[in-house]
Each structure stands twice: as C-alpha cells, then as structure tokens.
Amino acid sequence: MFEFKLPDLGEGVHEGQIVNVLVKEGDTVAEYQPMLEVETDKAAVEIPAPKAGRVAKIHVQTGQVVKVGQVLVSIDEAGAVAAAEQPATAAPVPPAGKATLGVAVGPPAPTVVGPKPTSVETEPAQPVAAAPAVRRLARELNVDIAQVPGTGPGGRVLREDVERFAAGRAAPAAAVPGAVGPARTSVAGAELPDFSQYGPVRREVVPQIRKTIARQMTRAWVNVPRVTHCDQADITELERNRTQYNEAVGPDGTKLSLTAIVIKAVAAGLRRFPMLNSSYDAAAEEIIYKDYVHIGVAVDTPRGLVVPVLRDADRKSLPQVAAELVDLSQRARAAKFEIADLRGATFTITNVGALGGTFVTPMVNYPEVGILGLGRARMEAVVRDGQIVPRLMLPISLSFDHRVVDGADAARFVADLIRSLENPLRLISLM
Amino acid sequence: MVVGELAEQTEVVVIGGGPGGYVAAFRAADLGLQTTLVDVAPVLGGVCLREGCIPSKALLHVAHLMEDAQLAGEFGVTFGPPRVELDKLRAWKQSVVERLCGGINLLASKRGVRVIRGRARFEDSRTVRVDGDGVTILRFNHAIIATGSRAKRLPESIIPTDCCMDSTAALTLETVPKTLLVVGGGYIGLELGQVYAALGSRVTIMEVLDRILTGADQDLLRPLLARLKKQFDDVLTGVTLQGARKVGQEIEVTFVKDGQPQTRMFERVLVCVGRQPNSDDLGLEKTRVVVNQNGFIEVDEARRTADKRIYAIGDVAGNPMLAHKASHEGLVAAEAIAGKPSVFDARAIPAVVYTSPEIAWCGLTEEEARSKGLEIRVGKFNWAASGRAVAMGRPEGLTKVIADAGTGRVLGVGVVGQRADDLIAEATLAIEMGARAEDLAMTIHPHPSASETLMEAAESVLGTAIHMLRK
C-alpha cells in the first residue's frame, strides 16, 4: 500500500487547504492523474497521483488544512484489480508477553503510554530534535515546532530558530528590526463589535488564498512607507500603431496588448532606473539590486488575485512577451500553474483599466519596491499648442517604497516611461 | 449540602498529597494561585513517601548493604553473620519517612498552601466536600485530582485476605517469615523479595506470564536472574494460582505450572499483582469527568479532564504509574491552570527497578522498537569490561543504547548494574535533547565510572568502542 503524503510545495509553504477531491475510494488512477486540488499560500495547485493504482483510502476531505508530509491518499499499487485485502506490511504484532490479562503483573512501562493528545494530526516519524525549554518556548509563541527550520547540529531546533520563525512567520528571512511584526493581520486591541445587533449578518470561512492576501497586504502596509506618483501618457499614436499591427498580424500571429507593451517599456525603464528593481534589507541596511527583470502581472481570477511572473521581460521580444502574457493569464485563471510561477518578481504591473478607474494607489508587492498601476485609457480633451484636441490618455500610477526610492526618482522613471509610450520609435530603440 | 455548612472558596483544590498532588499544589501556589491541598492521611507525602518508594528504598539500602558485607569476604574482609534488630530497623525506616514527610508539610505551610485532612468527594463540577474531623465544603475554580492508586487484590476464591499481605503491609516489617511466597514478578514483588531474602526469608516468586519484569528487555534481566537464582528458593513463571488456605501456622498454596498441579507451603504470602487507580468513591459521576474501563481518568495533553475545570494527574490518570511522572504532570496541570500553554510532552520517562543489581530504562526498549518495525542499531557494553564495576567487585551489568539506524538518534537506553538509577538520568536527557549516539560517544565521561558505560555503548552503536572488540 502506498501512502501518498502531501509533497513539498516549495520554500516556506508548509500547509494547504484541500479545495477539491477529484477521485473517490475504489477509483483506478493513472500515474500523474490529478487527484486533489490544494490551495496554498500562493495559489491552488493540482496534486497528481505519483503512482498508478487503486485509491484504497482517502484520508482528507474538502476544506481540511493539511501539512506537508501528511498522508492524503492510500494507493493500492496492486493495480485496478479489486484487492479486497490489504497487503500485510504492518509491523509485526507485539509479543504475547506484553498482554496483561487477568492477574498479570504490570511493571512500569518506560514509554509515554498514558493520555492521548487532543491533536488528530499524524505524528512525524521522529519527534523534532529540540530541548524541552525550546519546545516550551515554541508553545508560548504559538509556533508549531515541526515547521521551524533548525540550524543546530544535525538540524536541531534552537531557541533562536523558534524566535526567528515567530517574528517572520511566513517569511523565513531575518526579522526586520525597525518594522512592526508582520505576522498579525490586525492591530492589538481592535475588537470587533457585535454587528448582528444592527441587522442580519452572515459569516463565511476565509479560504487560504484570502488569508494569504490579508497577511501579505498587512505586511506590505506596515513595512513599506508607500508614496504614489501619478501622471498620464498620451497613447493616441501608440494605440493607432498597435491596432494597425494587430490587424496585419493575421489569425496565426500574436496580437500585442497594451499591457504587453507597457511591460516592455517598464522593463527597459527598470534597467535605466535600477533602484526600482531592487529590494531593501532593513536588517542589514542594504539595498539588493537585481540583475534580472521579472515582471509580476496582476491577474484577477475567480479565486482571487494571482500574480504570475513573466521572467526576463527585458530580454524577450515584444511578441514573445505578448504571447507569454496571454498564456500566463489563461493559466492563472484556470488555476493551472506551479508555485514557482508566482515567485521571483522584481516589479509588478497591475492593469485595472479594463474594469474602469483612473489613478490608483496600488500596494507595493513587498519585498519589491515599486508597482505600476494602469487605469482606463479615455479620450479626453487636452490642450496642445493652444488648441483643445481629443487625445487618448492613459492614467499611470507608480507606488514606491520611499525607504529606497525618492519622489524625484519615481517622477523621472514615470516621465521616462511616458516618453517611451508617447514615442513608439523611442520604445523600439530601447527594446 | 446541609444548612449550616458554609462553603469556602479556593482557586485551586488539589485532592491527594503525594508526589503528584503536592508538587502541583506547590507550583500552583508559586504561580500565585490560592491553593488548598486535601489528603486522607495524617501527613502529606502520599503512598510514595509513606508506604511505597521511600520506605522500600530505605529497606533495600539495608538489604544491599548486608549483601555487600557478605561479598566482602572475597576481598579478604570477613564480617560475621549480621544481627538484625527488627525494631530498630523499623524505627529507622520510620524516621526516614517522617523526616521527608515533615519536609513536605513544612514546605506546604511556608507556601501558604492550606492543608485539609479528610476524604474529598465531588458534589458537582465546582464543589468538593471534605469529610475529616469536620465537614468542609470547598467551592473551587479549578481542581486537580491526584488520588493515586492502591494495590490490586486477587479474588477471595484464589487467595483469601487473611492468607496474604500486600506491599504496604510487607513494608511494615512485622516479622521476617521463614518462607515467603511473592505472587507477582513485577518490580514491587522482586524488590520486596530481595528485602526479605536479605533479612533471612527463603523467598519464592510466582509469576503468571512467561517471564518476570515484562517491560524490560530480556538481556537486561539476565544478571538479575542469575543473582535471584542464588538469593531466592525459586523463580517460577507461567504459574496459574488456584487457591490458598491456612493450614496450621502456614499457608498451603495450590498452583498449576506447565500443566502440572502443585502444592507448596509458605509461612507468609505477599501479593503484588499491580495497582489500580483510585478513581472510585470520588463522586466523579456528579461531574463530567470521564473514567475509562481500566479505572483511569481520561485527560488531554495538559491533563485536563472532560470537565474543563478539573484536571487529573499521577497514577489515577494513567500509566506509567511512577512518582516522577506524577510530579511532572503536577507541574503541567498547575501551569495550565495558571494560563500557561503547558503540556505533557516528555519524550522519555525513566523506569528503575531497585533490585540488586538495579535495572533502569528510558525511551523505547529494543523489543518495543522492533515490534514497531523501526530500523535500529543497538550498541551494548558489558560491564565485565568496566573498570569501575570490576573494582567494585560487581562486574555483572550491561548498558545498551538503541539508536535509529538512519539518523543515529538515541531512541532508548537500558541499563542493568549498580547505580543504574543515576545512569538513566543522563540517558533521559539525551533523548529529550534529541541527541544522537555520536553525541553520547563524543562527550567525555569520567573514568572510572559506571556512567562511561553509556559512552561505550554509544560507541558500540557507531562501531568504535575501544574496550570491546568489533564482531
């Protein structure tokens, strides 16, 4: 019998919530056939069967939170053949001498045999190597010690490991001394009133993805002194060119979207304004400049906000970026992506324009330092050479981390971006 | 409740003043909780201090002393046969008990713990009635049940009560019988057997299972069995008792061994067939506390019962029935009541048999590890190669370390030999700290000592033991 455990889902991801069980007990599954959908910190992923066989037992149910290493499904590898009996792989029965019947003598048993714990989770193979006082500290800090990476000899969990874990909870990186603890999503003392006294209310359990967004947003809010610089780009010419290009490209070619063009323009800009392509290490008081440009693109999916990453946007051609953008959005909406697809962004772009809106104040996607928000492009009356003319204006908002980026840098970056968008030849020369 | 009985308030009431109860009460008081301790006996200390652990260890000390004196002949020092003054021995044992119990009572009063003598029973989930000199009604915020256990009896039909004594009676040392039958081959029976044998009784052990001291690995029993062969008349296993009756001044015992019925005569019979939890006659049916079919009170990892304000610790809460486990649980319960996130998460609980030689173990036994199907490596060190053991004239002994074959983590340790009770403490710490065999092997141990056998046994796991040849 193969006991299928929840595999490692990536760095820092220790648990997930079962969203969907796709098979039933008794089903025959092929290798790699999707069996479960699990929602994690970042997004929902499909868990495929590691082996072909018959689903003997499903140990989890929809809505249950499961930990990495926890047994999810038992697969009878004997195959589709209806195997009624379980293979005898269980440990041998304890020797008869242990049975205490009748008037047998009961000397003290050395192991902890007594009361059961209240937790119903499966125990790890060996208890975590941690001294009793460290285990107590974990309890006091409400930390599951099994999740703490140990830095002591042989992977032993030390006091510092528990403290570090508690301070940085989902971000195992060193705790930021100057910043408020990011693990909470509310300020102490903010007790809710009883809303039902004012009218009917309904409560809904928060799915994993919402929990993650809440945590991430709180962390960003608390850690990043955010300022937003707003401006507008005249994209009349750009749009004319884009429409012409897309008409000419034919049914098999890749159409260019406005977002794809902005991605390329931003990517070029980030190479020229590297402080916006960095991260801030408050503990070490260092700015980490990245020699790569990966753009996170915010996608609205039925499950919530997902930000897949378009890698090396500065090195790919515009059609490549456009095609990849389409693929990423589709996969994000269909929930068909890996956790790895969501990691490593250096800058984020969010285009709410399709839904409406002008200027926005987006949240910086910590630990990045900049995010560009695009509003809806509108025909507006604009003054040019003393005349009022109709032009297609695109609202642009750049939120940035003021610890790293000053207003002047931000203004220059946006001005540079607008120059690229307003002058397509300049755009081409920068690509 | 009768009109006129006033109810008194207490934050915490602890029922039972043994190693579980008094530790819990003292910790609760130290944490600032107003605590009341109730016990039926005239002094605190429970079975452990008054009629169990302490008096038995005092007598065992004397027994082993006599044994050592006898052995000295081999070293060239011959003592004449000892003259035992039973009254004086009894008095000394009693003085030991009184001294320790007195200490507990003093600590209680210095901590401001109110002690009530009497029998406590629950009236409901918030009230306890204590019947002592008078009647006290206590309303509590929290209660800790630490009522312990009592010796199990065999049915009257097998052994009538007037034909036998239990361990408590045995410890009073009324007389030293010429012949003594000990029913039960567990640690209590063996310890008391050795006491009486040292004092001059001819002792026979009868055990229903196929070996004595189930719970300890077989290889640890060998040195003890070898000694018992010389000290006792007989050690019989696989015995089913049929009946006993008084015949003149003696007791005729009938039993079946290997299918053969037999009869033997003994001056006295000591029955040590285990202990049962004192969960009855407590009024628990008036609370939501759940008692399982074995009489143990069901508790969670913080020792809370099904009735959220009531906790249970020690023998009444489950196996192993050991004083140190009760004390640790007492700390957990008191801290939990004080709002700390304490739970009982001990990785290893040591067990010690104070026979000569002593046997001690903690963590998994080799038998348990194998029956769980774990991949293990076992390192053994025979005390015949231990400088200390040989120089003490007690070379019979064995130390074994059971480690995980993959990681080298120490899973269990077993020791047979003098001072096993002290040795096992280091082993328990090793398991709690998640030590590996190499950590034990790489720690410098003093030479010559019994403790270095632990280091050597760990080296044996790694295959690097100096004082043993690799097979």
pLDDT of residue A86: 37
Partners of B434 on chain A (C-beta within 8 Å) are: 127-131, 154, 156
Query: Active site includes B324?
Result: no
Partners of A128 on chain B (C-beta within 8 Å) are: 434
The nearest CA of chain B is from the CA of A74 a distance in Å of 19
**Confidence check: pLDDT of A405 > 50:** yes
**pLDDT < 50 regions, chain B:** none
Q: Look up the CATH number of domain B161-273.
A: 3.50.50.60
Pick the catalytic residue from B142, B445, B447, B467: B447
A120 part of contact set with chain B, CB < 8 Å? no
pLDDT of residue A16: 82
Average pLDDT of the residues in A220-226: 91
The nearest CA of chain B is from the CA of A7 a distance in Å of 21
Nearest-CA neighbor of A72 among A63, A62, A59?
Answer: A59
Contact A103 B241 (CB under 8 A): yes
- Where are the CATH 3.30.559.10 domain residues in chain A? 226-430
How many Å apart are CA A71 and CA B406, to the nearest integer?
Answer: 21
Partners of A156 on chain B (C-beta within 8 Å) are: 433-434
pLDDT of residue A174: 40
CATH class belonging to B7-151+276-337: alpha beta
Partners of A88 on chain B (C-beta within 8 Å) are: none
Same topology for domains B7-151+276-337 and B161-273, yes or no? yes
What radius of gyration do chain B's Cα atoms show?
24
Partners of A140 on chain B (C-beta within 8 Å) are: 340-341
A329: phi then psi, degrees, rounded to nearest 5: -65, -40
Contact A115 B300 (CB under 8 A): yes
Chain B residues 398-427 with CB within 8 Å of chain A: 404, 407, 409, 412
CATH class belonging to A132-168: few secondary structures
Per-residue pLDDT of B90-99, as tens digits, reads 999 999 999 9
Contact A103 B343 (CB under 8 A): no
Which residue of A110, A126, A127 is in closest CB contact with B361?
Answer: A110
At A118, the pLDDT band (50, 70, 90 cuts) reads: very low
pLDDT of residue A122: 41
At A101, the pLDDT band (50, 70, 90 cuts) reads: very low
3-state helix, strand, coil in chain B (%, to 5): 35, 25, 40
Distances, alpha carbon A3 to alpha carbons A49, A56, A58, A134, in Å: 11, 10, 10, 31
Contact A154 B436 (CB under 8 A): yes
Residue holding tokens 């008191």?
B334
Contact A111 B344 (CB under 8 A): no
Fold of domain A226-430: Chloramphenicol Acetyltransferase (3.30.559)
Average pLDDT of the residues in A27-39: 82
Q: Report whether B105 contacts B43 (CB < 8 A).
A: yes
How many Å apart are CA A304 and CA B155, to the nearest integer?
Answer: 70
ipTM metric: 0.74
B231: phi then psi, degrees, rounded to nearest 5: -80, -40
A105 part of contact set with chain B, CB < 8 Å? yes
Q: Report whether A218 contacts A403 (CB < 8 A).
A: no
- Where are the CATH 2.40.50.100 domain residues in chain A? 2-76
The nearest CA of chain A is from the CA of B308 a distance in Å of 13
Q: Look up the CATH number of domain A2-76.
A: 2.40.50.100
Residue holding tokens 């567990």?
B186
Q: Mind giving me the DSSP string for B175-223? A: ---SEEEEE--SHHHHHHHHHHHHHT-EEEEE-SSSSSSTTS-HHHHHH
At A51, the pLDDT band (50, 70, 90 cuts) reads: confident
Which residue of B154, B275, B301 is in closest CB contact with A103?
Answer: B154
By C-alpha distance, the chain B residue nearest A141 is B341
At A425, the pLDDT band (50, 70, 90 cuts) reads: confident
Contact B299 A115 (CB under 8 A): yes
In angstroms, the first-to-last Cα distance of chain A is: 56
At A66, the pLDDT band (50, 70, 90 cuts) reads: confident
- Where are the CATH 4.10.320.10 domain residues in chain A? 132-168
Fold of domain B351-462: Enolase-like; domain 1 (3.30.390)
Percent of chain A with pLDDT strictly greater than 70: 81
By C-alpha distance, the chain B residue nearest A103 is B273
Contact B322 A108 (CB under 8 A): yes
Partners of A131 on chain B (C-beta within 8 Å) are: 432-434
Q: Report whether B125 contacts B141 (CB < 8 A).
A: no
Which residue of B152, B320, B340 is in closest CB contact with A109?
Answer: B320
Which of B293, B371, B421 is the mutation pick for testing A, counting most A CBs within 10 A? B371
Can you give the residue ranges of every domain in chain B? 7-151+276-337, 161-273, 351-462
Average pLDDT of the residues in A144-148: 90
